[in-house]
């Protein structure tokens, strides 16, 4: 895949990211993590910058880690939610973006419950827009931290077999991971009940190495790592599942089922419906990378913030030295 002729200003999805662009972002995240550790948690690379988080949908991990990442880089971080801003008085997304543009923010980080809303915001904005999750469409920073975490555990992703199991249909995390993982040479298998994983879903990824399997035992036997997804009740109509108990028995990463795969790394983007898609003993047990995913969210989002504010071509040698003297 060729590099974009004009450097990207926004991070909307990983769909058209090349392997080289992803490698550069993940390498920057690794360097930032090391520099952050050496500097005792404070770096000044975004001192004087203003970042705005604008969340139209609830979040714990993404919002907190963007705020921590921005502050760790020395930026001012302003947090807005739909309920605490003039959105609650009926202000449109377009007017909100125009207002934040006028305040000369350096980047706006948006979560929205409508697929496509963040892309629309990017067309109206002079400021860099970062997608913190939009509807069913995309969650690129979650996928980046998943790639980072999987590479930590598995080494290169080329040829690795990554199973994603659960509510695929409603999952922006699954979609962004399919693009990112396959760009780096991994094979992806999607597994879930047919009501949450329509036949032919893999074709949406246009020839990428994405396959569908409805039998979880076959899928687990194939995999080098497994990522469970949350059942997204807020995005489902009725009739998708007979019962949560039945879902767990067929598609849950339960203690009983995972006894057959004790060394298979287990991921979950969170939040978890405990005892449904993932048993608490698995989520908090030795094969779990769930906590590591959350930890890695900070350096990965620090890298994304540097990238979005035009510091993506930092000389990593100088960056290391700067961190030593910070
Ligand atoms: N994984 C994720 O996006 O979690 P939050 O909804 O808590 O941000």
Ordered by start, the domain boundaries in the chain are 19-139+296-311, 141-292
pLDDT band at 238; cut points 50, 70, 90? low
**Residue 240: which residues within 8 A CB-CB, separation 6 or more?**
193, 195, 196
Predicted confidence (pLDDT) per residue in 115-148, tens digit: 999 999 999 999 999 999 999 999 999 999 999 9
What is the pLDDT at residue 299?
Answer: 97
Which residue, among 142, 145, 149, 201, has the nearest Cα to 170 in the 3D structure?
A: 201
What is the pLDDT at residue 264?
Answer: 98
Q: Is the CB of 59 under 6 A from ligand 1?
A: yes
Q: Is the CB of 62 under 6 A from ligand 1?
A: yes
Partners of 164 in beta bridges: 190, 227
Average pLDDT (291-299) is 98
What mean pLDDT value characterizes the chain? Answer: 92
Q: Are 138 and 80 in contact (CB under 8 A)?
A: no
pLDDT band at 172; cut points 50, 70, 90? very high
Q: Assess whether pLDDT exceeds 70 at residue 316.
A: no
Fold identical between 19-139+296-311 and 141-292?
A: yes
Mutational test site, ligand 1, from 56, 137, 142, max ligand atoms within 8 Å of CB: 142
Q: Are 87 and 56 in contact (CB under 8 A)?
A: yes
Ligand 1 mean position, distance from CA 269 (Å): 7
- CA distances from residue 93 to 56, 97, 117, 119, 306 in whole angstroms, order as listed: 10, 6, 8, 11, 25
pLDDT band at 1; cut points 50, 70, 90? very low
CA dihedral 254, 258, 264, 270 (to 10 degrees): 0
Lowest mean pLDDT among 33-47, 68-82, 209-223, 274-288: 33-47
Average pLDDT (261-279) is 95
Q: Which two tokens stand for residue 299?
A: 């350096």
**Residue 316: which residues within 8 A CB-CB, separation 6 or more?**
27, 28, 31
Q: Is the CB of 234 under 6 A from ligand 1?
A: no
294 vs 319, residue with greater confidence: 294
What is the pLDDT at residue 243?
Answer: 84
Q: CB atoms < 10 A from the CB of 35, how many?
A: 21
CA dihedral 63, 64, 66, 71 (to 10 degrees): 140
Q: What percent of the chain has pLDDT over 70?
A: 92
Strands (E), the chain: 50-55, 76-81, 107-112, 128-134, 161-165, 187-191, 210-212, 225-228, 266-267
Q: Assess whether pLDDT exceeds 60 at residue 2.
A: no
Average pLDDT (69-88) is 93
pLDDT band at 84; cut points 50, 70, 90? confident
For 109, the 3-state DSSP assignment is strand
Question: Mean pLDDT: which of 202-216, 224-238, 307-321 is highest?
Answer: 202-216
* 3-state percent breakdown (helix, strand, coil) of the chain, nearest 5: 45, 15, 40
pLDDT band at 320; cut points 50, 70, 90? low
pLDDT band at 319; cut points 50, 70, 90? low
CATH topology of domain 19-139+296-311: Rossmann fold (3.40.50)
Q: Is the CB of 142 under 6 A from ligand 1?
A: yes
Q: What is the CA radius of gyration of the chain?
A: 20
What is the pLDDT at residue 42?
Answer: 79
**Residue 115: which residues within 8 A CB-CB, separation 6 or more?**
134, 135, 136, 137, 172
The DSSP letter of residue 127 is S
What is the pLDDT at residue 72?
Answer: 95
Q: Which of the listed CATH numbers 1.10.3720.10, 3.30.70.260, 1.10.1040.10, 3.40.50.1370 matches domain 141-292?
A: 3.40.50.1370
For 51, the 3-state DSSP assignment is strand
């Amino acid at each position: 895949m060729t590099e974009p002729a004009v450097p990207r200003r926004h991070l909307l999805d990983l769909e058209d990211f090349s392997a080289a662009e992803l490698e550069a972002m993940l390498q920057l995240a690794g360097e930032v993590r090391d520099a952050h550790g050496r500097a005792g948690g404070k770096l000044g690379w975004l001192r004087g910058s203003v970042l705005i988080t604008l969340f139209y949908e609830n979040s714990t991990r993404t919002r907190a880690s963007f705020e921590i990442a921005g502050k760790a880089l020395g930026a001012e971080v302003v947090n807005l939610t739909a309920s605490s801003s003039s959105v609650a008085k009926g202000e449109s997304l377009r007017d909100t973006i125009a207002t934040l543009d006028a305040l000369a923010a350096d980047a706006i980080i948006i979560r929205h419950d409508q697929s496509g809303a963040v892309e629309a915001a990017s067309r109206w904005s002079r400021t860099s827009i970062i997608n913190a999750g939009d509807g069913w469409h995309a969650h690129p920073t979650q996928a980046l931290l998943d790639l980072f975490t999987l590479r930590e555990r598995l080494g290169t992703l080329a040829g690795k077999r990554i199973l994603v199991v659960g509510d695929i249909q409603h999952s922006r995390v699954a979609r962004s991971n399919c693009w990112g993982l396959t760009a780096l040479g991994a094979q992806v298998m999607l597994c879930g009940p047919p009501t949450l994983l329509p036949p032919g879903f893999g074709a949406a990824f246009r020839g990428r190495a994405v396959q569908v399997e409805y039998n979880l035992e076959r899928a687990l036997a194939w995999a080098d790592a497994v990522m469970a997804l949350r059942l997204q009740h807020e995005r489902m109509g009725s009739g998708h599942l007979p019962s949560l108990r039945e879902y767990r028995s067929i598609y849950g990463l339960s203690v009983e089922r995972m006894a057959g795969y004790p060394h298979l790394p287990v991921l979950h983007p969170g939040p978890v419906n405990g005892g449904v898609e993932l048993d608490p003993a698995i989520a908090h047990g030795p094969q779990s990378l769930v906590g590591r995913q959350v930890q890695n969210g900070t350096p990965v989002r620090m890298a994304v913030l540097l990238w979005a504010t035009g510091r993506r071509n930092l000389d990593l040698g100088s960056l290391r030295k700067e961190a030593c003297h910070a």
